Structure 1
Amino acid sequence: MAGVDQRIVPIILAGGKGTRLWPISRSARPKQFLSLAGDNSLFQQTLTRVSDSEKFAAPIVITNNEYRFLVAEQAQEAGIELGGILLEPVARNTTAAVLAAAKYMQSLGGEDTLMFVLASDHRIVEDANYVTAVDAAAKCALNGNLVTFGIKPTEPAIGYGYIEQGDAIECGGHKVVKFVEKPALALAEQLVAGGKHLWNSGMFLFDRDVIISECEKLAPDVASAVAGAVDNADKDLDFVRLNEDAFAQSPDISIDYAIFEKTDKAAVVPSPFEWSDLGSWDAVWKVGAQDNEGNVSVGDVMLSETKNSLVYSETGQVTVSGLDDVAVIVSEDAIFVGALSEAQKVGELVKKLRSDKRTAPLTETHRTCYRPWGGYSSLVVGNRFQVKRLFVKPGKKLSLQKHHHRSEHWVVVSGTAEVTIDDSVKTLSENQSVYIPLGAVHRLENKGKILLELIEVQTGSYLGEDDIVRLEDEFGRA
């Protein structure tokens, strides 16, 4: 990296819920962990962009307890070694998250002090313009600037904030004149036509000690709370749990409001590379492979006399005929249909779904739930019974556990299962089954080389996931 004699430490924010891409993105598995633009998840794509070990140090990821194993597993799948996984006990926005990473870096020591703050759910084309922008931002940061990346607008978008760029500075950036909140269309058209405004990408690059100093000066309440949270953090397996009592005292405020709109050190680097925050279904459509009629299709989809539309199916055949400007999104258990051009409104619909007890679960979990050992899909739910499909990865095992309110029958569909029931251990292969009595201490393990799949039939008075008493667990959940 020209002119910079230290590596950059990527700081990846991976705790967002991604509600505007419902029903595919949900609280339990949000958009950063989904493959919405390519074969790998957006989080994995973010890791890959900072995988050059000559230019970047090992990334530090900030997430929450619910996503900790998703982060660790997807990083392992991508072949990226992480420098740390910080777990936020409560959501306190980007100022607290970034400062926690800075204080954690400071506690580790080391000569690499430049921080490259990235969202884990953005799509970026890593071309020569991208490399040039990162290099320029690093030079600006070494000169004491707090740098944000401003994307050259391609349209008067109303879903993004804007940055007005001022005088040029030697490193290749510009002083920031002001930030503009997401504007109405008329104002967005004026800003784009004027040529001085850039989209606010939410990406930042600055020196660790500079951001700590500015935060202590401009947001002392955040600085005090985060310092306590890092100083009193606990190590749990490969994770660092920030102290909840201290972290919860931090104000819930973005780094844009708390720091960048107040500091005299703010700079923006014009960044003409291809970027999208994939914040809505129309954004997914824009980056997708469009056919001659302007349609993007994902999954088992057939279109007839349809144009300028996005049709996305996770399950089942979907056929659309005679429509224009439509989004049809089909998940395992829910369907969204709406005008593609008004896809920004999905977030409001999710709020309504969440406020109703009947539909709230549809905003939180998928029919298929993923766990560190594999996962399960709910197939049939009835009065006092439930049928699930379990899948266990090779070499993984569930916790040693028992249930107070249900018994279970397991039928092996494929692979080989080692089953512990109280003091008995037995091996089951395809088409073999076993009964787990209510209250029995049991465990399921896949010691084989291929995925283990089972059908599980639960019967009892209460079938909730919280009726699990874990006695031993390799993932720290006992």
Structure 2
Amino acid sequence: MTTIVPVILSGGSGTRLWPMSRPEMPKQMLALTAEQTMLQLTAQRARGERYSAPIVVANAQHADLIEQQLADSDSAPSALVLEPAGRNTAPAIALAALAAGGGSAALLIMPSDHVIADVAAFHDAIAKALPKVEAGWLVTFGIAPDAPETGYGWIQVGDEIDTGVHRVARFVEKPPLDKAEEMLAAGDHVWNGGIFLFRADTYLSALATYAPGMLTAAQDAMDKARRDGVRIYPDAAAFGASPSDSIDYAVMERADKVAVVPVAMGWSDVGSWDALHAISDTDSAGNAHRQTGTGEVLAIDTQNCLARSDGVRIAMVGVSDLIVVASGNDVLVLPRGRSQEVKKLIEAMKNS
């Protein structure tokens, strides 16, 4: 039985969910969709006899938080690789592949801040992918689309090469709306959810072919790394020499043996407050309320709102289609449908 090593990428800052998500407390560390944090949920969906302890690649400033949240013996990482600087996903995964020994172990690459509602469907997709992974294929999981989404990359599904596994025909950049509508209508495209499965040696070999400078930098950084228990601190100067690139650009779009497993598993990247509202349980008026800590939310004659507080009381009367989020001394108020514009606020605050 092939051992699967979960690799959890936890380098993101999640600024689109400000004010709750901040550089010191990014969204994967928050309990946004359940009692557990998103990081904890990610670790929990890759447990069992087939799975080994996870490898977590993260920002060094979050090391204590990660160890606290994954202290459970079933989720405790075998390695916590602490990047000295962000270099995007391709170098981060190279560090993980080297931490795993660089051999035949299958790496399940998962972002730490996504939601998968149907874990059984996810496991079924993994089982379908494994024979091709063992044969040296790079596999990605394509999310069954339900909207002409312009915020995601798409993948055109090619010929079936094994049960439920297809060759990737092409990767598509984040499309304009008309192209997204065409792909959705055609029925042969899926969303690129950024979840992958491949052998460590397969990935490192692909890097040697398509991004040799990145591989050299990662190897050098790990050779010179400082180790403290499960914590691995790659050498900053060596890792800083790596090009910054995503796995899609560096490897997946260029390699030959690349496959996709389409799957409907209740996936969301929770990329905005609107996205969180869409997957949240709501009351009879369409409101999604949640409070943590000493937070409190009171809503009267209110419809289709998202309200979150971890401290101050939010009181709403006679309003509809609003997003109201209170955290610490900050309160965010905006109409539903415009939560992607939080990044404008972040920029304005940086400049003020």
* TM-score calculated relative to the size of structure 2: 0.95
Q: Which residue of 2 aligns with 1:55?
A: 50
Match of 2:81 among 83, 86, 94: 86
What letter corresponds to residue 18 of structure 2 in structure 1?
Answer: W
Q: After superposition, what is the alpha-carbon deviation per residue over 1:108-161, rounded to whole angstroms, capped at 9, x for unaligned?
A: x6xx61000001111112443222111112222112211111010122222221
What letter corresponds to residue 238 of structure 1 in structure 2?
Answer: V
Q: Which residue of 1 aligns with 2:129?
A: 137
Shift of 1:210: 0.7
Q: CA RMSD in A?
A: 1.5
Alignment of 1:222-233 (within 5 A): 222-233=214-225
CA distance, structure 2, for counterparts of residue 147 and residue 351 of structure 1: 37
Match of 1:346 among 338, 342, 345: 342
Alignment of 1:312-331 (within 5 A): 312-331=308-327
What letter corresponds to residue 208 of structure 1 in structure 2?
Answer: A
Shift of 1:193: 1.2
CA distance, structure 2, for counterparts of residue 354 and residue 267 of structure 1: 42
Alignment of 1:375-454 (within 5 A): none
What letter corresponds to residue 268 of structure 1 in structure 2?
Answer: V
Q: Which residue of 1 aligns with 2:282?
A: 290
* TM-score calculated relative to the size of structure 1: 0.71
Question: Is 2:119 aligned against 1:119?
Answer: no
Q: Which residue of 1 aligns with 2:60?
A: 65
CA distance, structure 2, for counterparts of residue 191 and residue 354 of structure 1: 38
Q: Which residue of 2 aligns with 1:199?
A: 191
What letter corresponds to residue 67 of structure 1 in structure 2?
Answer: H
Contact 1:140 1:171 in 2 (8 A): no
> Helix, strand or coil for the counterpart of 1:106?
coil
Report sequence identity in percent.
38
Report how many residues are paired: 348
CA distance, structure 2, for counterparts of residue 197 and residue 64 of structure 1: 33
Contact 1:44 1:78 in 2 (8 A): no
Contact 2:77 2:230 in 1 (8 A): no
Match of 1:309 among 300, 305, 312: 305
CA distance, structure 1, for counterparts of residue 170 and residue 235 of structure 2: 35
Alignment of 1:256-271 (within 5 A): 256-271=248-263
Greater helix percent: which structure? 2
Q: Which residue of 1 aligns with 2:12?
A: 16
Shift of 1:78: 6.9
CA distance, structure 2, for counterparts of residue 140 and residue 343 of structure 1: 40
Contact 2:79 2:99 in 1 (8 A): no
CA gap 1:80/1:39 in 2 versus in 1, 3 angstroms: same
Q: Which residue of 2 aligns with 1:424?
A: none
Question: Is 2:245 aligned against 1:250?
Answer: no
CA distance, structure 2, for counterparts of residue 171 and residue 215 of structure 1: 28
Q: After superposition, what is the alpha-carbon deviation per residue over 1:18-66, rounded to whole angstroms, capped at 9, x for unaligned?
A: 00000000000100010000001000011111121x1101110001210
Q: After superposition, what is the alpha-carbon deviation per residue over 1:382-424, rounded to whole angstroms, capped at 9, x for unaligned?
A: xxxxxxxxxxxxxxxxxxxxxxxxxxxxxxxxxxxxxxxxxxx
Shift of 1:79: 4.6
Runs of 4+ in 1 over 3 A off after TM superposition: none
CA distance, structure 2, for counterparts of residue 306 and residue 162 of structure 1: 37
Q: After superposition, what is the alpha-carbon deviation per residue over 1:217-260, rounded to whole angstroms, capped at 9, x for unaligned?
A: 00111111111011111112431100111100001110011111
CA distance, structure 2, for counterparts of residue 93 and residue 348 of structure 1: 22
Q: Which residue of 2 aligns with 1:146?
A: 138
Q: Which residue of 2 aligns with 1:167?
A: 159
Alignment of 1:35-50 (within 5 A): 35-50=31-46
CA gap 1:181/1:305 in 2 versus in 1, 3 angstroms: farther
CA distance, structure 1, for counterparts of residue 184 and residue 66 of structure 2: 37
Question: Is 2:98 aligned against 1:103?
Answer: yes
Unmatched 5+ stretches in structure 2: none
Contact 2:143 2:264 in 1 (8 A): yes
What letter corresponds to residue 310 of structure 1 in structure 2?
Answer: L
> Helix, strand or coil for the counterpart of 2:127?
helix
Match of 1:156 among 139, 148, 153: 148
Q: Which residue of 2 aligns with 1:6?
A: 2
> Helix, strand or coil for the counterpart of 1:115?
strand
Unmatched 5+ stretches in structure 1: 357-478
Q: Which residue of 2 aligns with 1:335?
A: 331
CA distance, structure 2, for counterparts of residue 239 and residue 291 of structure 1: 43
Alignment of 1:455-466 (within 5 A): none
CA gap 1:78/1:334 in 2 versus in 1, 3 angstroms: farther
